[in-house]
Amino acid sequence: ILHELENNDRVIGGISQKSSNFAKSFYSKFCSGELIITDCKTAEMVKLSENSFRDVNIAFANELSMLCDEVDVDVHELVSIANRHPRVNILIPGCGVGGHCIAVDPWFLASQNENITKIIQTARIVNNAKKDWVVKKIKKTVLEIEKDLKRSVSIACLGLSYKPNIDDLRESPALDIVMDLINSNMKVLVCEPNLKSHPNIDLHSIHDITLKADLITILVPHKEFYNLKFSKKMTLDFCKALSS
């Protein structure tokens, strides 16, 4: 975060040239990136467009992951090979999109321009639907395991935050997934190494989960989950944390 604060380019859109110049003078004291002055409407549109662009690209990856599941293709192998093309850069799919920017900003562009923002709206629909797809995938897998074991099983959910290596839960799809499973009266063990506690969810250590869980689901690729090995455990890795 500090690196971005100091090195990222900045778009400055004041309500007047005087206010823009003042903001540029302020940022120049600590920011080495380029300081770009424009009008306030363009500056706001730039920010919303950046986050909408990211949302659209994530939606493509998430939709691709669901398609690959249907046709029995490893989406991570597919992405790795496809990205060898010099003009292709498919993102790694996850369990949805969260946070206070990407999950929210596209609606500011779409809400008053519904007829000409179909791609933006569709991306929001796809990314919101991904967490529901993940829940259904987990529940289906649980039923299959219970049929084999002839008993109820426990599910480990790794990660609650909206992106890796932070404690921020705003608009987190992982949190929604976990709460859906809990509200469905399933046995859920949750590990979030970036939180000490949660008001509605009991948190467990990775060690406890390894010992107790029948099914491991990785929702957020925190660094603590890289290259974990779960012997004799079934694992659903929705973010490719195991081989990061």
Query: Hey, which residues are catalytic here?
Result: 47, 101
φ/ψ of residue 139, rounded to 5: -65, -40
| 108 CB-side CA count, 13 A | 16
| Alpha helix stretches (DSSP H) within the chain | 2-7, 17-27, 40-71, 75-82, 105-110, 118-149, 173-183, 206-212
Which residues are CB-contacts of 196 (< 8 A; sequence separation ≥ 6)? 203
The b-or-e profile of 10-40 (16+ CB within 10 A means b, else e) is bbbbbeeeeebeebbeeeeeebeeebebeee
DSSP one-letter code for 190: E
